[in-house]
């Protein structure tokens, strides 16, 4: 699977570990950085991964920062992205099955490398359930994005 991955300085070490594991498993990765633990701004990395996923250059995205929250918030500003913070395997499974999440954000402060790898595995192997109720809800999210984008254009 083609996966976009990135982290800020706080998630750098965990991102490197995940990147190595994913490459060993045969995934094709686009690494948007960070490439060191020098202080950086997480929105820059979140948007790069989100845009790769939204454009179809990557099937899924993985983001790592201190808590996962900042990356998730920033990634969700990109239309077509449904980013969720990964905390537990069951929750990650549900955001894939019910919400068709296409980006996972992980908190390096709260997850060991093995825990993060387990969440990533669930994220990559769980399919969207589809079905009328889940699809309807995702369509409503897309409609909100379209409305917001139209309003921004009208204000410009």
Mean pLDDT of the 45-54 span: 98
Mean pLDDT of the 43-56 span: 98
**Rg for the chain, CA atoms, rounded:** 15
- Are the CB atoms for 82 and 88 separated by under 8 Å? no
d(C-alpha 47, C-alpha 73), whole Å: 10
Q: 28 or 133, which is more confident?
A: 28
- Does the structure show a pLDDT above 90 at 82? yes
Confidence of residue 154 (pLDDT cuts 50, 70, 90): low
Q: 45 or 134, which is more confident?
A: 45
Mean pLDDT of the 23-52 span: 97
Three-class SS state of 13 = helix
Measure the CA angle with vertex 100, ends 126 and 153; round to 5°.
155
Mean pLDDT score of the chain: 94
d(C-alpha 24, C-alpha 26), whole Å: 5
Residue 48's pLDDT is 98
User: Mind telling me the catalytic residues?
Assistant: 65, 98
Element (H, E) at 4: strand 2-7
- Does the structure show a pLDDT above 90 at 10? yes
- For helices 113-125 and 12-24, give the axis angle rounded to 10 degrees: 50
Residue 133's pLDDT is 85
d(C-alpha 131, C-alpha 109), whole Å: 36
- Are the CB atoms for 109 and 71 separated by under 8 Å? no
Confidence of residue 156 (pLDDT cuts 50, 70, 90): low
d(C-alpha 36, C-alpha 33), whole Å: 8
Residue 147's pLDDT is 81
Backbone conformation region of residue 105, classed left if phi is above 0, alpha if psi is from -120 to 50, else beta: beta
Domains of the chain, with CATH numbers? 2-129 (3.40.1400.10)
- Does the structure show a pLDDT above 80 at 50? yes
């Amino acid at each position: 699977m083609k996966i976009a991955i990135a982290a800020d300085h706080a998630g750098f070490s965990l991102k490197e570990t995940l990147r190595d594991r994913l490459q060993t498993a045969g995934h094709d990765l686009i690494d948007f950085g960070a490439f060191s633990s020098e202080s950086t701004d997480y929105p820059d990395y979140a948007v790069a991964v989100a845009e790769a996923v939204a454009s179809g250059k990557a099937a899924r995205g993985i983001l790592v920062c201190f808590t996962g929250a900042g990356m998730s918030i920033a990634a969700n500003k990109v239309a077509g992205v449904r980013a969720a913070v990964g905390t537990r395997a069951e929750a990650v499974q549900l955001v894939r099955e019910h919400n068709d999440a296409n980006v996972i954000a992980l908190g390096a402060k709260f997850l060991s490398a093995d825990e993060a790898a387990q969440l990533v595995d669930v994220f990559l192997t769980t399919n969207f359930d589809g079905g009328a109720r889940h699809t309807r809800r995702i369509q409503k999210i897309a409609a909100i994005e379209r409305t917001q984008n139209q309003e921004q254009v009208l204000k410009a």
